[in-house]
Structure 1
Amino acid sequence: MATSWPLGVTLSFLDEFIASHGGVDAFRNLTTRQVNINFLLPLTATSKLSLVDQLTISCPSVQPARWYVSHAWPYMFLDVIESLHLFFSDKPSQEAIVWFDLFCNSQHTNTDFNSLTSIICRAITSIQRVVMVLLPWDRPIPLTRAWCVYEVYMTVNTASEFQVAMTQQETDRFADNVSVDAFFDMLAHVKSEASDSYDPQDKIQIAKVIENTIGFKNMDTMVFRVFENWMTSTLTTKISISNGPTQSIWQFKLGSLYQVQGKYDLAETMFVNCVAARKLVLGEEHPDTLSALSHMASLYKAQGKYAQAESILEQCSQVLSRLKLHDSPLGLVVADTLAGTVQCQGKYAEAETLYLQCLAEKKRIMGERHTSTMLTMGNLASLYQAQGKYEAAKPFYELCVACSIATVGDDNPNTITLKNNLAANLNYLHDYQAAEALYVQCLSDGERILGKDHPSTLTTMNNLAANYYHQHKLDVAEALYEKCIAASKLVLGEAHPHTLSAMNNLAALLKDAQKYEAAEALYKECVEMNTKTMGPAHPSTLTSMNNLACLYERQGKLNEAVTLLVPVLERRRQVLPGDHPSLLNSIRELGLLYEKLHDFTSSEPLLIEYVAIQTRRVGPHHNDTILRKRSLAEHYCKIKNPQAAETLLLECVEGAKITYGVDAPETIKLTNKLEAFYLDQITKSLELKEWADMAQYIASITSFGKTNPLSETTRKEVESLRLQMPMGTPRRVVKSLA
């Protein structure tokens, strides 16, 4: 019976095979490998052929295969047969002809690796349909076996149809337990590089094939997409064959799956349908209806539709409070999501109150290390970070990452998100190398597990580009930003907050690269889109306006810069804490801008305010405090207030000695600045014949020189100026003061 099409056996033949060899009891608790040893090898001992080849001439059960069966030999053989029966139960009988390696390959010859891969490749290429026996569904054994991984590789490579077969028990367990957390958990336990084989040499050879073609990272991505498609197809089928409350359950599950896949439009359709069905059948205040509404609000938040999300969550919260379910698991989910939503709108004080209340309840009810508690703690850390409280956020992030790794593993998408947030924190704390290492790891894991265009992956890509920018790796950062923006526009849309964030970051890079026209166009687009999408007072809108103002300043367009910065500062005072870095930045920038415009009346209170806040916030000896005091001292010199300038310069030198060291270049530079100030004041006093002032400054620099050795040039200049004073009273003043 010669044919180029791979031959298989009918499903009924498998039943006959079991019946003719002692029935079900004879096969109970036997793996496929044991069935081979106990039955197949003795049955084909004489011919040394595969059972299919041995039966071909006379057996009508041997026919061209319609499905390729992928399974793991450690499986219980009866589980494999049951899974196939269930899979073919709704299909025509002529479909139930399978290429099953136990029966289709000779078990007597040690087929070399190249021959075996050729057999698999030829079979899958010809049949074009693969059914994988998946047991258990959330810890799929086939994906830990090298040959099964290779079969998935061939399935994708040949664009073949892929389906899954499970036992009735496993099918029921899938229906009961499929969820976002279960999906994430499954992804976290799949790593093709770690797959094993009965023959270690096979594992080595398969690894070489994958490494030399697509690589393990892309292999895992392929596997995940195949299983995502299978889950989506399975849930879609469930929806189509059900109705009423049951259908709404499947809609909810599929909507949740779409959301974590970043397919927001499809998720919205599912949630809208689910909510409508539950309102009709269960009522508007039923907990299941409220659960669907809260998930829809979470989706709106992910889409950047913050006002819609907040409105829904407020309604849910009110109903849950009235039903005394505010501290139920659903009530806490609603509270946490509401806190995150108001945070995204810049309402930080309100968000903090909600987070703290939610965190306290979760600790009381679920425990301090519960996954849900850690989620809220991580969200609270993100709020502190948004408020500029980077040191306060760091220990929360570190604890959340450690707990997530311990509970759900390193490769779980939730762990990856937490690692990304910790990296962002390190970036804000200027630990750029540590942040880069973590970002690179997160990006690699995100691309492998979630996909290159997933919203979470794009967020990490944007953050890594920002990290490169801060390290002055401008070319690398620019290329990554452009890649991120293109993908983000495609996946999330041009007006999505994540897209605008990447555009704003790229504009900052273009500004520093002196590509001013391109930067200005991008900043203006960001301001316009942020204002339209999130409102004129939203932190993202204000950041874009602030950045555009800084660009105008660099271009010498000072009045245009002031026009932008004045409302930015006013709005930031309204929505940000008094010591937020963004608010401080606006105070400093506007103060310096006014000074450049010689509007000293407007600049002075802003510069004084900035120095006062920084002194209180980071201390009088902090690098930024010292530098800003120096700027304020220079301002006082310009407005002819030498006494105030002298006080600040003396503080700068003393602070520099503590912070940098007595002999540090920074300290020497500030010392020279103070010496130059004194010499300038002495010279001016001499020219104006203000002898008392001259005597005072000579005495001051002399006193300063006792603890801070003056340069030889300064010492000689002071002595020369002293000798130019008239005889009499002024000299006696100098002597008494000294």
Structure 2
Amino acid sequence: MSTTPPLGVTLAFFDAFIASNGGEAAFVGLTTAQVSTSFLMPTTAATKLSLVEQLKNDPCVQPARYFVSHAWKYFFLDVLESLRLFFVDKPIADHIVWFDLFCNSQHDTTIKPFSWWTTTFRSSIGAIQNVIMVLLPWDRPIPLTRAWCVFEIFATVSTKSAFHVAMTRAETERFADHVSVDTFYDMLGHVKSEACEAFRPEDKAQIAAAIVDAIGFTAMDNMVFQVFGAWMATTLQAKIASTSNVLQANWQLKLGSLCQAQGKFADAERLIDAAVATKKLCAGHDAAETLIAMERLATLYNEQGQFARAEEVLRHCQLGWEKLGHAETAPAAIIALETLATTLQNLGKFDDAEAIYVKCIAHRQQVSGDNHESTLVCKCNLATLYEERGEYRKASPLLTECLAASIATLGPDNPRTLTLKNNAAANLNYLRHFDAAAALYVECLNDSERLLGGDHPSTLATMNNAAANFAAHKKLTDAEALYTTCVERSKRVLGPEHPSTLKTINNLASLLREAEKTDAAEVLFQEALAISTKVLGPSHPNTLTTMSNLGRMYEQVGKLDAALALLVPCLASRRQVLPPEHPCIAKTILSVALLFEAKHEFTAAEPLLREYCALQTRLLGATHPETIFGRFTLAEHLVKSHALEDAEAIFLECAASALPTFGPSAPETKHFESAVEVFYLNRSQTSMKAKEWGDAARDLAALEAFGTTHPLSARATDALRVLKQHLPVGAPHKVASSTG
């Protein structure tokens, strides 16, 4: 490939060309394609050369400094205005561009082989090392729908050339007013290199083949996204450097939000912190724009697991909006309220969070409508709350409704749609519809890799969820392979100490524990625990999760003392940092109680089991599956500690609660009913051996009564008949011995 830049033209050349063809008035409303037909081709008709070759001795024809990528559908004058604006702050010596209209012959283009065009574009870009893409409109750019322009991006990256963007003044101002993470990803959500068009169908087919041979469409799309992500960051950094005070803070918020979306949390916190400080100084602590910036900071805290800090910031925001008198009406106040609901959910304050979500949904529906993006997001958040409370069927219709509406209104490739699809797959997983969940996860993962790239934090999150689905489906080998890939990418992209990396290591270790690869699991758990303790602190929720998982693994392999050494302090720390009714506290209470029971320390186990049951009843209700199983565990414990009357009452409660919860024929219901049968039969046999005939008769009568509402199994029916035959006639009560 030649390292000598091809000839290009100065901006003055454009002016001379326009002047020689009737002036600007003659070009108004003409696309570049029309300019070629009306003015360029007649000018070069005699020589059949490019205009640059025809005028190569003109002082305006010089080695190009920039390659211009643009769509021929653009108005020619818009392209020129964009270039003038791009070069306004650059030395005049750099105002020389390779512009295909002038630099390629426009005659007999159809007879040139495809390889000539690809070689020309790629070699020109490689030699020039600078590409300007004219982006109009910036959020729906035509070049990203044109096959040749996408090929030029491929050439830009593959030749390690610099990438720049040029826009008209009006479009530059619109970019400044509307740029955000959402609009940026919305723009990228409409990019599909495979669907790009070309004037000639054969060009499209050959460009597609070239891309497939080189890197494939998924990698090509990712390349486009990486290029534009870097452009966005560079543009925002330049805005920050050239402004001050509140305006600078606004740009810091935009760049901080982009960094947050990319998983660059340290950069995001630095930028957003600086923006909040500037807003407080310049506008006041309770000014609307300050409160908006603080909500952004709270969102970042939530993503970092700093839930208490997030709640503190949001409570201040809530008071600030109340002082301004806009707590119930301002859109930004409603956003802060939704973020508060999410924070409370993270803290396990589910009832408070649900009340706020319901309030926000009603407001969104009234103001924006049922299918507006903001309404869908709020409904989805409410669905995740239901799932966290174990109410998976209650969440399912909400998620189905939201996903269908998002596809219809935002499009299948919008990041919001991908998130909703991911959440719908998770719900299917919770409902044990594993095959349907797996199919949807594969779709999510393919879309995320194509749109965001295989290393994007959102893609890694989807990969994590897909691996969890494999694990739930007992496809442990597939789950291990996917988790391993996810860990490797997370370490490379986010770093070995990033919270997301640590979560993935923890998940892989949990999978290995389930696969009984406990030695490998222990190594990973200890690695994650050590790093998490150092980076996040010993009381961070993520640290405590890993500590709990390692403790449970020790319990699994019979290392009860090692398990207690982790789980007892884990419970103490969770009681300190989480609200008293947080689900994680309940789970840890149960784990510690069962460990004490396994060590036959019944006195230590019983109060914890009773606390767990009371907590689950308050959190989930008396008929929730987890509550029923918790009470059943308590009943089994009471049998072991010989508190039989208490055990009897709880066994009966479990069987009664199972009927409406699971159904009369469900395995869970049969399990509880069988436990009642075994309890009465065993106790009656014990009484008979002690010749306590009255107690035996009472238990057998109780079993018969139980059978009127819970049909007895054949085994229990036969045993009951046999035992009744062994009762003495009249079944006398127990005879007390005489002391006289």
Task: Identify whether the pair has TM-score above 0.5, normalized to the shorter chain.
Answer: yes
**1-side partners of 2:548 and 2:241: how far apart?**
52
**2-side partners of 1:138 and 1:597: how far apart?**
64
**2-side partners of 1:526 and 1:665: how far apart?**
38
Runs (5+) with no aligned partner, structure 2 = 733-740
| Residue 219 in structure 1 maps to residue 217 in structure 2 | no
Question: How has the CA–CA distance of structure 1 residues 541 and 243 changed in structure 2, closer, same or farther, with 3 Å as cutoff?
Answer: closer
Between 419-428 and 557-566, the greater mean CA deviation after superposition: 557-566
2:448 matched residue in structure 1: 446
The letter for the 2-side match of 1:730 is: P
Question: How has the CA–CA distance of structure 1 residues 195 and 294 changed in structure 2, closer, same or farther, with 3 Å as cutoff?
Answer: same
The letter for the 2-side match of 1:458 is: L
Residue aligned with 2:516, SS: coil
Question: How has the CA–CA distance of structure 1 residues 381 and 624 changed in structure 2, closer, same or farther, with 3 Å as cutoff?
Answer: closer
1:271 matched residue in structure 2: 272
2:457 matched residue in structure 1: 455
| Residue 289 in structure 1 maps to residue 261 in structure 2 | no
Question: How has the CA–CA distance of structure 1 residues 402 and 104 changed in structure 2, closer, same or farther, with 3 Å as cutoff?
Answer: same
Question: How has the CA–CA distance of structure 1 residues 392 and 538 changed in structure 2, closer, same or farther, with 3 Å as cutoff?
Answer: farther
| Residue 596 in structure 1 maps to residue 595 in structure 2 | no
The letter for the 1-side match of 2:243 is: S
**1-side partners of 2:362 and 2:670: how far apart?**
52
Superposed, which structure 2 residues align to 1:469-484 within 5 Å?
Answer: 469-484=471-486
**2-side partners of 1:436 and 1:560: how far apart?**
36
Residue aligned with 1:130, SS: strand
Question: How has the CA–CA distance of structure 1 residues 495 and 310 changed in structure 2, closer, same or farther, with 3 Å as cutoff?
Answer: farther
Residue aligned with 2:314, SS: helix
The letter for the 2-side match of 1:59 is: D
Superposed, which structure 2 residues align to 1:140-159 within 5 Å?
Answer: 140-159=141-160
1:14 matched residue in structure 2: 14
**2-side partners of 1:114 and 1:415: how far apart?**
39
Deviation at 1:627, TM superposition (A): 11
Q: Is the 8 A contact 1:450 1:457 kept in 2?
A: yes
Superposed, which structure 2 residues align to 1:310-459 within 5 Å?
Answer: 310-327=311-328, 328-459=330-461
Superposed, which structure 2 residues align to 1:668-679 within 5 Å?
Answer: none
The letter for the 2-side match of 1:17 is: F
Q: Is the 8 A contact 1:630 1:648 kept in 2?
A: no
Question: How has the CA–CA distance of structure 1 residues 39 and 618 changed in structure 2, closer, same or farther, with 3 Å as cutoff?
Answer: same
Superposed, which structure 2 residues align to 1:297-308 within 5 Å?
Answer: 297-308=298-309
Selected match of 1:501 from 479, 500, 503: 503
**TM-score, normalised via structure 1 length:** 0.84
Question: How has the CA–CA distance of structure 1 residues 248 and 605 changed in structure 2, closer, same or farther, with 3 Å as cutoff?
Answer: closer
Between 352-361 and 147-156, the greater mean CA deviation after superposition: 352-361
2:244 matched residue in structure 1: 243
2:521 matched residue in structure 1: 519
Superposed, which structure 2 residues align to 1:610-629 within 5 Å?
Answer: none
Deviation at 1:552, TM superposition (A): 2.5
Between 298-307 and 226-235, the greater mean CA deviation after superposition: 298-307
- Deviations 1:22-43, CA, capped at 9 Å, x for gaps: 2222222221222222223333
Q: Is the 8 A contact 2:606 2:634 kept in 1?
A: no
**2-side partners of 1:303 and 1:76: how far apart?**
47
**2-side partners of 1:326 and 1:307: how far apart?**
22
Selected match of 2:552 from 546, 550, 553: 550
The letter for the 2-side match of 1:311 is: E
Q: Is the 8 A contact 1:656 1:666 kept in 2?
A: no
- Deviations 1:199-233, CA, capped at 9 Å, x for gaps: 11111111111112211111111111111222222
- Deviations 1:244-296, CA, capped at 9 Å, x for gaps: 44333333332233322322333333333333433343333332233223323
Deviation at 1:516, TM superposition (A): 2.7
Residue aligned with 1:730, SS: coil
1:92 matched residue in structure 2: 91
Aligned pair count reads: 724
Across the aligned residues of Structure 1 and Structure 2, the Cα RMSD in angstroms comes to 4.3
Deviation at 1:511, TM superposition (A): 1.6
The letter for the 1-side match of 2:728 is: P
Residue aligned with 1:162, SS: strand
| Residue 199 in structure 1 maps to residue 200 in structure 2 | yes
Runs (5+) with no aligned partner, structure 1 = none
Residue aligned with 1:8, SS: strand
- Deviations 1:579-611, CA, capped at 9 Å, x for gaps: x87666556555554543344566667778888
Q: Is the 8 A contact 2:506 2:546 kept in 1?
A: yes
- Deviations 1:527-572, CA, capped at 9 Å, x for gaps: 6666777788876555444433322222223355456556767887
2:170 matched residue in structure 1: 169
Question: How has the CA–CA distance of structure 1 residues 377 and 674 changed in structure 2, closer, same or farther, with 3 Å as cutoff?
Answer: closer
**1-side partners of 2:350 and 2:526: how far apart?**
26
The letter for the 2-side match of 1:436 is: A
Q: Is the 8 A contact 2:625 2:661 kept in 1?
A: no
Question: How has the CA–CA distance of structure 1 residues 238 and 581 changed in structure 2, closer, same or farther, with 3 Å as cutoff?
Answer: closer
Deviation at 1:403, TM superposition (A): 3.1
**1-side partners of 2:275 and 2:627: how far apart?**
54
**2-side partners of 1:673 and 1:318: how far apart?**
54
Deviation at 1:467, TM superposition (A): 1.7
2:76 matched residue in structure 1: 77
Question: How has the CA–CA distance of structure 1 residues 360 and 636 changed in structure 2, closer, same or farther, with 3 Å as cutoff?
Answer: same
Question: How has the CA–CA distance of structure 1 residues 688 and 145 changed in structure 2, closer, same or farther, with 3 Å as cutoff?
Answer: same
Deviation at 1:198, TM superposition (A): 0.8
Quote the sequence identity (%): 49
Question: How has the CA–CA distance of structure 1 residues 710 and 609 changed in structure 2, closer, same or farther, with 3 Å as cutoff?
Answer: farther
**2-side partners of 1:349 and 1:675: how far apart?**
38
1:510 matched residue in structure 2: 512
Q: Is the 8 A contact 2:467 2:483 kept in 1?
A: yes
Question: How has the CA–CA distance of structure 1 residues 565 and 228 changed in structure 2, closer, same or farther, with 3 Å as cutoff?
Answer: closer
